[in-house]
Amino acid sequence: MRRALAAITVLVWTLPADADRRIWRVRSGDALSVLAERFDVRVEDLREWNDLESDTIRVGQELLVDPEPDADGPRYTVVRGDTLSHIAARHGTTIEELRRLNPGLRPDRLRAGQTIRVVAPEGRLRIEYRVRAGDNLSRIAARHRVEVRDILRWNPRLSADRIRPGQTVLVWSEVPESVSESIGAPNHGRLVRGEALPPHPGYIIRDRNRAYGTLETILWIQDAFDAVRARHPGAPRVRIHDISLPAGGPMAGHRSHQSGRDVDISYYQRRCGGIPCPMRRLDPDDLDAQRQWALFEHWLKNDRVDAIFMDYRLQRPLYEAARRAGYSRAELSRWIQYPRGPSFPFGIVRHYRRHRDHAHVRFTCPDTDENCRR
Ligand SMILES: [Zn+2]
Q: Is the distance from CB of 214 to CB of 363 less than 8 angstroms? A: yes
Q: Is the distance from CB of 261 to CB of 331 less than 8 angstroms? A: no
Confidence of residue 2 (pLDDT cuts 50, 70, 90): very low
Strand stretches in the chain, DSSP E: 23-25, 62-64, 75-77, 115-117, 125-130, 168-173, 181-185, 188-192, 195-196, 203-205, 212-213, 238-240, 262-265, 305-309, 349-350, 359-363
Cα of 318 vs centre of ligand 1, distance in Å, is 19
| Overall average pLDDT of the 291-304 stretch | 95
At 103-127, the pLDDT tens digits run 778 888 888 888 888 876 666 777 8
Residues linked to residue 240 through DSSP beta bridges, in sequence order: 205, 265
Residues linked to residue 200 through DSSP beta bridges, in sequence order: 203
Confidence of residue 178 (pLDDT cuts 50, 70, 90): low
Q: Is the distance from CB of 150 to CB of 137 less than 8 angstroms? A: no
Cα of 253 vs centre of ligand 1, distance in Å, is 9
Phi, psi (5° rounding) for residue 267? Answer: -80, 150
Cα of 322 vs centre of ligand 1, distance in Å, is 24
Q: Is the distance from CB of 172 to CB of 150 less than 8 angstroms? A: yes
Cα of 359 vs centre of ligand 1, distance in Å, is 8
Cα of 258 vs centre of ligand 1, distance in Å, is 10
Closest CA to 139 of 226, 212, 199, 204: 226
Round to whole Å and give the CA distance between 371 and 192. 11
| Overall average pLDDT of the 178-183 stretch | 85
Confidence of residue 166 (pLDDT cuts 50, 70, 90): confident
Burial class (CB in 10 A: 0-12, 13-18, 19+), 213: buried
| Overall average pLDDT of the 193-211 stretch | 93
**Does residue 184 register a pLDDT over 80?**
yes
pLDDT at 144: 80
**Does residue 4 register a pLDDT over 80?**
no
Cα of 360 vs centre of ligand 1, distance in Å, is 5
Cα of 90 vs centre of ligand 1, distance in Å, is 44
Cα of 251 vs centre of ligand 1, distance in Å, is 10
Look at 10-19, 169-178, 187-196 and tell me which has the smallest mean pLDDT. Answer: 10-19
Cα of 255 vs centre of ligand 1, distance in Å, is 8
**Does residue 51 register a pLDDT over 50?**
yes
pLDDT at 5: 36
Cα of 80 vs centre of ligand 1, distance in Å, is 53
Domain 181-363 indexed as CATH 3.30.1380.10: yes
Cα of 212 vs centre of ligand 1, distance in Å, is 13
| Mean pLDDT value across the chain | 86
Cα of 264 vs centre of ligand 1, distance in Å, is 5
Cα of 106 vs centre of ligand 1, distance in Å, is 62
**Does residue 196 register a pLDDT over 80?**
yes
Cα of 362 vs centre of ligand 1, distance in Å, is 9
Domain 125-173 indexed as CATH 3.30.70.250: no
Cα of 257 vs centre of ligand 1, distance in Å, is 7
Terminal CA-CA length for the chain: 46
Domain 2-117 superfamily per CATH? LysM domain (3.10.350.10)
pLDDT at 14: 35
Round to whole Å and give the CA distance between 300 and 268. 17
Cα of 354 vs centre of ligand 1, distance in Å, is 10
Cα of 29 vs centre of ligand 1, distance in Å, is 83
Cα of 117 vs centre of ligand 1, distance in Å, is 52
Please give the radius of gyration of the chain, using alpha carbons only, rounded to the nearest integer: 30
For the chain, the residue count is 374
Tally of CB atoms within 10 A around 152: 16
**Does residue 275 register a pLDDT over 80?**
yes
Sequence-ordered alpha helix ranges (H) in the chain:
2-6, 8-12, 32-39, 43-50, 84-90, 95-101, 137-143, 148-154, 215-231, 289-301, 312-324, 329-335
Domain 2-117 and domain 125-173, same fold? Reply is yes
Cα of 262 vs centre of ligand 1, distance in Å, is 6
Confidence of residue 243 (pLDDT cuts 50, 70, 90): very high
Q: Is the distance from CB of 243 to CB of 257 less than 8 angstroms? A: yes
Round to whole Å and give the CA distance between 267 and 355. 10
Cα of 279 vs centre of ligand 1, distance in Å, is 12
Cα of 248 vs centre of ligand 1, distance in Å, is 14
DSSP 329: H
Domain residue ranges in the chain: 2-117, 125-173, 181-363
What residues flank ion ligand 1 with Cβ within 5 A? 264, 360
Cα of 113 vs centre of ligand 1, distance in Å, is 55
Cα of 267 vs centre of ligand 1, distance in Å, is 13
pLDDT at 329: 96
